[in-house]
Amino acid sequence: MRRLLQATAALLCCSAATALAAPDPRAVRQLAAEDTEGKLAAIRALATEADPGAARVLQALADGALLLAGERVVLLEDGRAVDAATGERLEPAPESPDPITINNRVRRALGPALAALQLQDPRREVRLAAARQLAGGADAALAAPLSRALLAERDAAVKDFLALAYAQATLGSGDASARLAAATALGESGDPGARGLLERLLDARAEPDPKVRAAAAVSLRTVEWRLARGELVGRIFSGLSLGSILLLASLGLAISYGVMGVINMAHGELLMVGAYAAFGVQALFRRYLPSAADLYVVAALPAAFAAAFLVGVAMERTVIRFLYHRPLESLLATWGVSLLLTQSARVLFGAQNVEVANPSWMSGGASFLGIAVLPWNRIAIVAFALGVLAVVWLLLNRTRLGLHVRAVTQNRAMAGCVGVATSRVDTLAFGLGAGVAGLGGVALSQIANVGPDMGQGYIVDAFMVVVLGGVGQLAGAAWAALGLGVASKFLEGWTGAVVAKIAILVFVIVFIQRRPQGLFAPKGRLAEG
């Protein structure tokens, strides 16, 4: 990058072009030329000017608002005629001006030219969009405005795209030193497009200078290493994100299954209840508190927990309580409950998916070492899952309810003999597991569609996590969820999603055959039971 900036500074020092107070009148008049080459030359000339008037003229040409009145080129602004060269309002307006027509070739040239002029915009998002567009392909005619923008830019993300665009613009230069600086600068880019540019420079027919080819080879190795590192970071983070979702989906199941041994086939629908609760809270905020709409997620968390908790308590009181120690009947009954909840969601909300939008503070992403972009919504989900895990661990290990739950899990008969209300513990534990699933539904609503069938895709994965980690073991569930998530993402990159799913399932089956107790074996009386 340093060599590129030095070459850019030298280019600017040798250039006599300065910022103009108005666009070049000759270039503006040439836009009305009959031949396409004349229009293209005028567009290139205006694109090199550091003047907002040039952008206004080219935008009017693209919009069909640039007209020819005699020898004067005018543009229409709010229904009024303005001299395109001077910006002077014309009173009275010219009569019957002729529109300046353009063809597809001119339209293709207008896009990069307008993007080059937008590099001077004070708004960062406009400059970033323009730089990203130019990084997709910039010709030598835009080297001058790109060099000015590169020296003036302070934002790192915009500067990376500008460096790539400027390198592309100077790769065709007749000056070998400029091409050498461009090839060296491309080595600092993390954009995949830089790899293709450097690969072309390795061909002696495309690049005759051996020094430029050698610099391109070094830069290519650097870019490939940086891209490989970015891909690795992206896969690990995607795996952690998937693992966080699996953890939230399975944590409640680990509580209820570990305490009562109930195979709850309706657990996926508890995720759906939490997601629809988030949708309802979002609708209320949009209607009654539109100014605070971005805070709906905060209010949705207790609402989702309460909704799923109540559904879980109702399930335990009306169905599951009468089917303890009858695994087949409880499995069929909870499967029937899952169908009931799914159909209820269809009746209340419709069969189509509903929209649950990300708040603005969860939109976009964070750049990690300039090699990978991590979405804010997934970062928030990872942090939220770890927070929920910590709260559940504290609840089960530092509260009276947790003490009773662990007592019932280890020896139900003895816990009842010393005064523990085992039936009440069953209800609260099942409700707690359902409430945690509701929290998982809120997290899932931020990255996936919310619909009546959304929970069915997670029930098998949740049971795999619980069984792999060890029944009733929160630490086992956490390690199993994160491990399966990361392994799935790496396998998907190598074999595809379908084969990766099969491979994970085969691994879990083989692992359970070899170690039925899971990653973390129960200890003490829990193991004896």
pTM: 0.70
Residues in the chain: 529
Residue ranges and CATH numbers for the domains of the chain are 2-186 (no CATH), 232-528 (1.10.3470)
- Nearest 5°: phi and psi at 73? -95, 125
Place of tokens 């997601």: 275
Smallest CA-to-CA distance from 352 within 210, 459, 444, 450 is with: 450
Question: 357: Cβ–Cβ under 8 A, 6 or more apart, which residues?
Answer: 282
Cα separations in angstroms, 46 against 35, 58, 72: 17, 8, 17
pLDDT at 525 (0 to 100): 42
DSSP assignment of 216-281 equals HHHHHHHHHHHHHHHHHHHHHHHHHHHHHHHHHHHHHHHHHHHHH----TTHHHHHHHHHHHHHHH
Q: Which residue has the tokens 């080219």?
A: 58
Residue by residue, pLDDT tens for the chain (529 residues) are: 445 445 454 444 444 333 334 677 888 888 888 788 888 888 888 887 766 778 888 888 888 888 888 778 888 777 678 887 777 877 777 777 888 888 888 888 888 888 888 888 888 888 888 888 887 777 777 877 888 888 888 887 788 788 788 887 887 777 788 888 888 877 877 677 778 778 888 888 878 888 888 888 898 888 888 888 888 888 898 889 889 988 988 888 887 776 667 788 898 999 999 999 999 999 999 999 988 888 999 999 999 999 999 999 999 999 888 887 787 888 889 999 999 999 999 999 988 899 888 888 888 887 765 567 788 888 999 999 999 999 999 988 889 988 888 888 777 788 888 888 888 888 898 899 899 999 999 999 988 889 999 888 888 888 888 888 876 677 888 888 988 889 988 888 788 878 888 888 888 888 888 888 777 755 544 444 4
Provide DSSP, 113-178: HHHHHHTT-S-HHHHHHHHHHHHT---GGGHHHHHHHHHH---HHHHHHHHHHHHHHHTT-S-HHH
Q: Can you give the pLDDT at residue 273?
A: 94
Considering all CA atoms of the chain, what is the largest pairwise distance in Å, rounded to the nearest integer?
104
CA distance 93 to 99: 14
In terms of C-beta density within 10 A (0-12 exposed, 13-18 middle, 19 or more buried), how is residue 241 classed? buried
Rounded-to-5 percentages of helix, strand, coil across the chain:
70, 5, 25
Q: Give, in order, the Cα–Cα distances in Å from 148 to each of 117, 138, 167.
A: 11, 15, 13
Question: Which residues, in sequence order, are CB contacts of 30 under 8 Å at separation 6+?
Answer: 38, 39, 41, 42, 45
Q: What is the pLDDT of residue 21?
A: 46
Distance, CA of 172 to chain centre: 35
Query: Using CA atoms, how far apart are residues 321 and 318, in angstroms rounded to an integer?
Result: 7
Burial of 177 (0-12, 13-18, 19+ CB in 10 A): middle
* Amino acid residing at 408: V
- Residue 162 contacts residue 146 (beta carbons within 8 Å): yes
